[in-house]
Amino acid sequence: MKLSTKVTELTSIIAPAVAACDVALWGIEFAPQGNRSLLRIYIESLPEDQAQDKQVTIENCAAVNHQVSGILEVHDPISGEFILEVSSPGFDRAFFSDEQMHGYVGQTVSLRLIQAIGEGDKKRRKATGTLNSIDSTSLKLTAADGEQFEIALTNIDKANLIYEDA
């Protein structure tokens, strides 16, 4: 999951402002849309708060929005108008780095791939299944039909957790 240069630049500017609000930066989406772009920031409770079952609140989102708005005013990294959204990553969270997936081994994930995997008629660019393991170069996934895949991390375009109600 390669981040664009713009998202990398925005992350370096925004991360300290988010940390100042006592929450963690989960990820950033930036979608340039002509004269009006969209900047979406996902925040997560800190690990010690997660251990106490504390969730991201509306107040956390408002504080981050206020803090980040001020930082963006000063640095002005986005030309033209933009909409700023701040939210929790939610139950079906997108993964913005390979490292984020390590905590979700044993759970169901959905992947969109850069290059198709499989043979013949079974070639696919999407894969959904249980994340069995992940290391520094690849992950292993078992689909609902039992088919197993080893997928290079460099072949993943987008990855999401699939929420399953227990």
The pLDDT value recorded for residue 99 is 93
Give the residue among 86, 71, 82 at the shortest CA–CA distance from 13: 71
The pLDDT value recorded for residue 78 is 86
The pLDDT value recorded for residue 38 is 94
The pLDDT value recorded for residue 164 is 82
The pLDDT value recorded for residue 1 is 61
72 CB contacts (<8 Å, ≥6 apart)? 13, 14, 39, 78, 84
The pLDDT value recorded for residue 165 is 74
Give the residue among 68, 20, 80, 60 at the shortest CA–CA distance from 40: 68
The pLDDT value recorded for residue 10 is 94
pLDDT in tens, the chain (166 residues): 666 888 999 999 999 999 999 999 999 999 988 788 999 999 999 888 776 778 899 999 999 999 999 999 999 888 888 999 999 999 899 999 999 999 999 999 999 999 998 877 778 899 999 999 999 999 999 998 898 999 999 999 999 999 887 6
The pLDDT value recorded for residue 166 is 61
Which residue stretches of 20-152 are H helix?
47-51, 58-75, 98-101
H/E element holding 9?
A: helix 5-19
Encoding tokens for residue 67? Answer: 């803090």
